Amino acid sequence: MAAAFCIAAFLISLYIAHFVYKWRNPKCNGLLPPGSMGWPLLGETLQFFAPTSTFDINPFVKQRMKRYGPIFKTSLVGRPVIVSADSDLNYFIFQQEGQSFQSWYPDTFTEIFGRQNVGSLHGFMYKYLKNMVLNLFGPEGLKRMLPEVEMAANRDLKRWSTQNSVELKDATASLIFDLTAKKLISYDPEKSSENLRKNFVAFIQGLISFPLNIPGTAYHKCLKGRKRAMKKLKAMLQERRANPRKQQSDFFDYVLQELDREDTLLTEGIALDLMFVLLFASFETTSLALTLAVKLLAENPSALKELTAEHEAIIRKRENPDSSLTWSEFKSMTFTFQVINETVRLANIVPGIFRKALKDIHFKGYTIPAGWAVMACPPAVHLNPSRYKDPLEFNPWRWQGIDMNGATRNFMAFGGGMRFCVGTDFTKLQMAVFLHCLVTKYKCQAISGGEILRTPGLQFPNGFFVQLSEKVQSGQEQQQCMI
């Protein structure tokens, strides 16, 4: 009996040792990049999600770059991953979409965004959905939205100026969510019996967290938030189908028209996942960027002074100073777009962009095996001192004379290739218009908070509280923000 037990224990130990060896030494038809696969199954997931309070490259990536170089292997949430902090490889990945690589995210992300979300679809279906979204966020759609964005910004800034302090991240998130939800689904928070944004707040808190789906965890709350939001969207879709409108008034109407076409590629599941992703993506990332922009401007008076001068000059050139922004005025905001580029460069709101290798890829002497995930790391590119002098400094002037209408090897805040974010111009429009309304009409004083935390996504754990007061002589008195 004892002998049998010893043999069984030996065989189990042998199996475990073999499993661990295979885990740490995966097969490859070539040379894998250096790196560690971490613990079996768990990999290096805990280190990846470890919080840090700096604008600098995530310590998980920075330490491994120093040890292994800009291309290394690891394992996250049970999957082997090649991490790329190499600008050439990142650019190659984006240019090879659908040929050598395709969009991929861990199963945990897919559970959150939906298995039929636009990021998980490929080929013709992805292009079909992208064209649908461009119907809303393309140039003509944005021209129609410009006065609505300005009106919403002026309305909320006016209201905030009557309060002792405002938590800017939550306030701008509410502003942008209400505006976007109105365009997408005609949602009016004052007339709705349910606060739709609350479901997305729960969703956001667990989006980039350790994927442990048990009650009490951020990830579990995230999934519950998605379930409630999807239930609300489905009920709205069914109500619209039962009571169709005579004229198209929002994006939901457009989606319903597509669903009712005989030759449609759209399904109800894809449509609902699309609406969910658009609602989330349109407000969360933009409100983070706006909050950070105001914080950085508050800390850099020379940048704030030049920004204010640009917008006051726009008003001085008008026949009627109180008239609304025009499209040509928006397009003339040169320094404003430099501020936006510099903000999103430092913000690195998306810490990693995932793809999957469709075949063995040979690059710079290394092999990326077919089926492996690849994570392009924008922060490592945006904070590279060989490309950006003093990369942790807020310096909008570094973008002077540079055309930044798309992605490059050294700038990928909005992705790249055929999956370059279709909402990029909408984000820039909202940020530019908000800053215009802010610096021409209000003084802004920081009260408290403003500390950042990365987990690895960007957060303001203590908020960022500011006090707004109307300018006595708008257009003449310079904006003054103090920490």
Q: Which of 387, 373, 382 is nearest to 350 (CA)?
A: 382
Angle of helix 424-441 versus helix 301-316 axis, rounded to 10: 90
- Dist. CA 242–CA 184, nearest whole Å: 18
**Distance, CA of 125 to CA of 396 (rounded, Å):** 38
Residues 184 and 180: their CA atoms lie apart, in Å, by 6
30 vs 33, 360, 363, CA distance in Å?
Answer: 10, 9, 11
Residue type, 366: Y
Asked whether the beta carbons of 427 and 288 are under 8 A apart, the reply is: no
Helix extents (H) in 138-261: 139-160, 168-185, 196-207, 218-242, 251-260
Q: Annotated binding site for heme: which residue ranges?
A: 421
End-to-end, the C-alpha distance of the chain in Å comes to 75
Cβ-contact 433, 441 below 8 angstroms:
no
8 A C-beta contact, residue 355 and residue 374: yes
3-class DSSP string for 29-89: CCCCCCECCCECCCECHHHHCCCECCCCCCHHHHHHHHHHCCEEEEEECCEEEEEECCHHH
The dihedral over CA atoms of 301, 305, 308, 310, expressed in degrees to the nearest 10, equals -140
